Amino acid sequence: MNQRTLFAKRVRRLRKAANLSLDKAGEKGGLSGKYWGEVERSEKSPTLDKLFAMARALDVPIHALAQIEREEDEEKVLRRSIDRILDKSTAKQLKRLYCYLLDTSDAN
């Protein structure tokens, strides 16, 4: 997957996480919903000014737009992040997390 496609997926994920339609994101950022759609389909590459507008609309720092990871690496990134958290956890916190995981895995 190329950088433009990864960026497009990142923008779409952030927009959906912000619970914004293309048009609403466009309104908030001063860009058209059509333009947002073109970026999310990898048809357009935004200029720096448009990146700032998009970040403002999504209420994220601009660097959040560039935090793209390869899809196949996402599990590895999550595992490393979780491992760092677990390494700093107390026995009591680990036990609570373990119980939570057991409870949620039974529900599935």
Furthest C-alpha separation in the chain: 51
If pLDDT is split at 50, 70 and 90, which confidence band does 106 have? low
**Average pLDDT for the chain:** 87
Residue-level pLDDT at 41: 96
CB atoms under 10 Å from CB of 11, counted, come to 22
Token reading at 71: 């899809």
Q: What is the pLDDT of residues 58-70, one digit of tens each?
A: 999 998 888 876 5
Q: CA separation (Å) from 55 to 63, 74, 77, 108? A: 8, 22, 23, 36
Q: What is the pLDDT of residues 12-40, one digit of tens each?
A: 989 998 999 999 999 999 999 999 999 99
